[in-house]
Structure 1
Amino acid sequence: MLFPTMKRFLRGLARLLGLFLFLALLLGFSGYLYLRASLPQGEGRIALEGLSAPVEVVRDGKGVVRIRAATLKDLFFAQGFVHAQERLWQMEFQRRVGQGRLSEILGEATLPQDRFLRTWGFYRAARAAYGRLYPEEKEAVDAYAAGVNAFLASGAPLPPEFRLLGFRPEPWTGPDVLVWAKMMSYDLSGNWEEELKRHRLLARGVSPKRLLELMPPYPEDAPTILSAEDLKLPLKREEAPSALLRMAPPRFMEASNNWVVSGSRTTTGKPFLANDPHLALQAPSLWFLMALEAPGLRAIGATLPGLPGVVIGRNERIAWGVTNVGADVEDLYLLEEVEGRGYRYKGRVVPYGVREEVIRVKGGREEVLKVRETVYGPVITDALQAPPKTPMALRWVSLDEEDHILMAFLEVNRAGNWEEFKKALLPYSAPSQNFVYADVEGNIGYIAPGKFPVRKEGHTGMVPVPGNGEWDWLGYRRPEEWPQAFNPARGYLVTANHKVTPKGFPYALTYDWAEPYRAERIEELLLAKEKLSLEDMKAIQQDQKSLLYRDFRPVLELLTPLSEGARAWRDRLLAWDGTMAPGSEEALVFALWYTELTRLPQREVGEAYWDEPRYLLKALKEGDKNCDQPETEYRESCLDYAALALERALDRKEALGARAWGEVHRARFPHAVLTHTPLKRLSDREVAFGGDRYTVNVGPFDPETLAMGHGPSYRQIVDLSDMEGSLFVHPMGQSGHFLSRHYADLLSFWRRGDYLPMRFAGEGRALLLEPGR
Structure 2
Amino acid sequence: MNSSSGGHPILIRFGLFVFLPIIVLLLMSAWYIGQSLPKSTGESYVTGLTNSVKVSRDEDGIVYINAETNEDAYFALGYAHAQDRMWQLEFQRRIVQGRLSEVFGTDTVPYDAWMRTLGLDRAAKSSWEVLSPNAKASLTSYAAGINAWLEAKPQLPVEFEVLGITPEKWTEYDSLAWIKVFALNLSGNLSVELANSLSINKMSEEQRSQIYGDYPKGAPVTVSYLKQHSIDSLTALLQNNLNIEKNLKIGGKYVGSNAWVISGEHTANGAPLLANDPHLGLQLPSPWYVASLKGSTLNVTGMTLVGLPVVIFGRNEQVAWGGTNMMADTQDLYVEQLNPSNSSEYKYEGEWIQFETRTELVDVKAEFPESLRYPLEPVKVEVKTSVNGPIITGVNGAIDQPVALKWTALMPKDTSYESFFKANYAKNWDEFKHAFSFHVAPALNIVYADQDNNIAYIGIGKIPKRNHGNGQLPSPGWLESHQWKGFIPFEEMPSSLNPESGYLINANNKVADENYAYFISNDWAHPARAERIEQLIVEKIASGQKVDIDYTKRMHGDEIDISAVRLAKYLSGFKGETESQKDAIERLQNWSGNMAQDSIGATVFYMWVRNLREALFKDTFTSSWGEDEKQAILQSELELIEYGEVLTAIEQSPQDWCKPDGDCRSLILSSLDSATEQISKLVGGNSNDWQWGRLQKTTYEHSVFSRVNLLDIIFNREISNGGAPNTINVASGRFDKSEGFQQIFGASFRQIISMGKVEKRHLYMNSTGQSGNILSDHYDDMIKPFQEVKYFKLEKPSQTNHLLTLLPEINGGGKK
TM-score, with structure 2 as normaliser: 0.87
Q: How far has the Cα of 1:253 moved from its partner?
A: 4.6
**CA 1:244–1:484 in structure 2 vs 1: closer, same or farther (change >3 Å)?**
farther
Are 1:504 and 2:535 counterparts? no
The amino acid of 1:320's aligned partner reads W
Once the two structures are overlaid, the 10-residue window that deviates more, 540-549 or 595-604, is 595-604
**1:646 alignment partner, one of 666, 672, 678:** 672
Map of 2:554 onto structure 1: 539
The amino acid of 1:711's aligned partner reads G
Cα separation, 1, equivalents of 2:530 and 2:46: 49
Cα separation, 1, equivalents of 2:573 and 2:691: 26
Cα separation, 2, equivalents of 1:163 and 1:251: 32
Aligned residue for 2:59, secondary structure, equals coil
Cα separation, 1, equivalents of 2:775 and 2:220: 54
Contact 1:51 1:77 in 2 (8 A): yes
Map of 2:388 onto structure 1: 376
Contact 2:208 2:214 in 1 (8 A): no
Contact 1:517 1:694 in 2 (8 A): yes
**CA 1:241–1:626 in structure 2 vs 1: closer, same or farther (change >3 Å)?**
closer
Cα separation, 1, equivalents of 2:254 and 2:591: 30
Deviations 1:546-603 (A, max 9, x none): 1133121232243332322111221221112221111222222211112112212122
Map of 2:630 onto structure 1: none
The amino acid of 1:19's aligned partner reads F
Q: How far has the Cα of 1:418 moved from its partner?
A: 0.8
Are 1:759 and 2:795 counterparts? yes
The amino acid of 2:641's aligned partner reads E
**CA 1:573–1:388 in structure 2 vs 1: closer, same or farther (change >3 Å)?**
farther
Cα separation, 2, equivalents of 1:754 and 1:425: 32
Deviations 1:456-500 (A, max 9, x none): 1x3311110001032111212211111100000011111000100
Map of 2:683 onto structure 1: 657
Cα separation, 2, equivalents of 1:166 and 1:251: 32
Contact 2:52 2:806 in 1 (8 A): yes
Map of 1:396 onto structure 2: 407
**CA 1:560–1:134 in structure 2 vs 1: closer, same or farther (change >3 Å)?**
same
Taking only the aligned residue pairs, the percentage that are identical comes to 35
User: Could you list the runs of 5+ residues in structure 2 that have no partner in the other structure?
Assistant: 1-5, 222-250, 367-374, 623-633, 685-689, 811-816
Cα separation, 1, equivalents of 2:496 and 2:154: 49
Q: How far has the Cα of 1:338 moved from its partner?
A: 2.5
Contact 2:655 2:662 in 1 (8 A): no
Map of 1:770 onto structure 2: 807
Map of 1:234 onto structure 2: none
Deviations 1:580-632 (A, max 9, x none): 111222222211112112212122234242432232121122233343344xx
Map of 2:728 onto structure 1: 696
Structure 1 stretches of 4+ moved >6 Å: 240-245
Aligned residue for 1:725, secondary structure, equals strand
Map of 2:658 onto structure 1: 628
Deviations 1:513-569 (A, max 9, x none): 000111111111111112211111001000001113312123224333232211122
Are 1:710 and 2:736 counterparts? no
The amino acid of 2:274's aligned partner reads L
Cα separation, 1, equivalents of 2:163 and 2:20: 26
Cα separation, 1, equivalents of 2:12 and 2:110: 48
Q: How far has the Cα of 1:760 moved from its partner?
A: 4.0
Aligned residue for 1:356, secondary structure, equals strand
Q: How far has the Cα of 1:643 moved from its partner?
A: 2.1
Q: How does 1:352-367 map to 2 (within 5 A)?
A: 352-363=355-366, 364-365=375-376, 366-367=378-379
Q: How does 1:573-612 map to 2 (within 5 A)?
A: 573-599=588-614, 600-606=616-622, 607-608=634-635, 609-612=638-641
**CA 1:13–1:626 in structure 2 vs 1: closer, same or farther (change >3 Å)?**
farther
Once the two structures are overlaid, the 10-residue window that deviates more, 724-733 or 37-46, is 724-733
The amino acid of 1:472's aligned partner reads Q
The alignment's C-alpha RMSD in Å is 2.2
Cα separation, 1, equivalents of 2:256 and 2:51: 42
Map of 1:227 onto structure 2: none
Q: How does 1:733-744 map to 2 (within 5 A)?
A: 733-744=769-780
Map of 2:224 onto structure 1: none
Aligned residue for 2:390, secondary structure, equals coil
**CA 1:621–1:11 in structure 2 vs 1: closer, same or farther (change >3 Å)?**
farther
Q: How far has the Cα of 1:706 moved from its partner?
A: 1.1
Cα separation, 1, equivalents of 2:59 and 2:31: 23
Cα separation, 2, equivalents of 1:362 and 1:605: 38
Once the two structures are overlaid, the 10-residue window that deviates more, 387-396 or 279-288, is 387-396
Aligned residue for 2:540, secondary structure, equals coil
Once the two structures are overlaid, the 10-residue window that deviates more, 681-690 or 123-132, is 123-132
**1:529 alignment partner, one of 522, 527, 540:** 540
Contact 2:96 2:181 in 1 (8 A): yes
Cα separation, 1, equivalents of 2:280 and 2:779: 19
Q: How does 1:80-99 map to 2 (within 5 A)?
A: 80-99=78-97
Contact 2:763 2:793 in 1 (8 A): yes
**CA 1:370–1:517 in structure 2 vs 1: closer, same or farther (change >3 Å)?**
same
**2:454 alignment partner, one of 443, 467, 478:** 443
Map of 2:444 onto structure 1: 433
The amino acid of 1:277's aligned partner reads P
Q: How far has the Cα of 1:636 moved from its partner?
A: 4.5
The amino acid of 1:416's aligned partner reads K
Cα separation, 1, equivalents of 2:126 and 2:787: 41
Aligned residue for 1:354, secondary structure, equals strand
Map of 2:299 onto structure 1: 298
Once the two structures are overlaid, the 10-residue window that deviates more, 116-125 or 336-345, is 336-345
Cα separation, 1, equivalents of 2:774 and 2:254: 31
Map of 1:473 onto structure 2: 484
Are 1:36 and 2:34 counterparts? yes
Deviations 1:300-342 (A, max 9, x none): 1111111011011111111100000011111100112234432
Tell me the number of residue pairs that the alignment of Structure 1 and Structure 2 aligns: 733
**CA 1:276–1:405 in structure 2 vs 1: closer, same or farther (change >3 Å)?**
same
Q: How far has the Cα of 1:11 moved from its partner?
A: 6.6
Map of 1:210 onto structure 2: 207
Cα separation, 1, equivalents of 2:444 and 2:396: 28
User: Could you list the runs of 5+ residues in structure 1 that have no partner in the other structure?
Assistant: 1-7, 219-239
Q: How far has the Cα of 1:256 moved from its partner?
A: 0.8
Map of 2:564 onto structure 1: 549
The amino acid of 1:664's aligned partner reads L
Cα separation, 2, equivalents of 1:327 and 1:159: 39
The amino acid of 1:525's aligned partner reads L
Are 1:680 and 2:712 counterparts? yes
Q: How far has the Cα of 1:389 moved from its partner?
A: 7.8
**2:347 alignment partner, one of 344, 354, 376:** 344
The amino acid of 1:212's aligned partner reads S
Contact 1:57 1:65 in 2 (8 A): yes
Q: How far has the Cα of 1:381 moved from its partner?
A: 1.7
Contact 1:67 1:78 in 2 (8 A): yes
**1:725 alignment partner, one of 753, 761, 772:** 761
Q: How does 1:242-391 map to 2 (within 5 A)?
A: 252-339=253-340, 340-341=342-343, 342-363=345-366, 364-365=375-376, 366-384=378-396, 390-391=401-402
Map of 2:585 onto structure 1: 570
TM-score, with structure 1 as normaliser: 0.91
Cα separation, 2, equivalents of 1:108 and 1:194: 28
Contact 2:271 2:755 in 1 (8 A): yes
Cα separation, 1, equivalents of 2:207 and 2:580: 36
Cα separation, 2, equivalents of 1:675 and 1:171: 27
The amino acid of 1:357's aligned partner reads E
The amino acid of 1:214's aligned partner reads I
Cα separation, 1, equivalents of 2:803 and 2:171: 28
**CA 1:513–1:198 in structure 2 vs 1: closer, same or farther (change >3 Å)?**
same
Once the two structures are overlaid, the 10-residue window that deviates more, 635-644 or 543-552, is 635-644
Cα separation, 1, equivalents of 2:513 and 2:214: 14
Deviations 1:157-208 (A, max 9, x none): 111111111111111111111111110100100111111111111132x244
Deviations 1:230-268 (A, max 9, x none): xxxxxxxxxx889999xxxx9735121000011121222
Aligned residue for 1:25, secondary structure, equals helix
The amino acid of 1:430's aligned partner reads A
Aligned residue for 1:702, secondary structure, equals strand
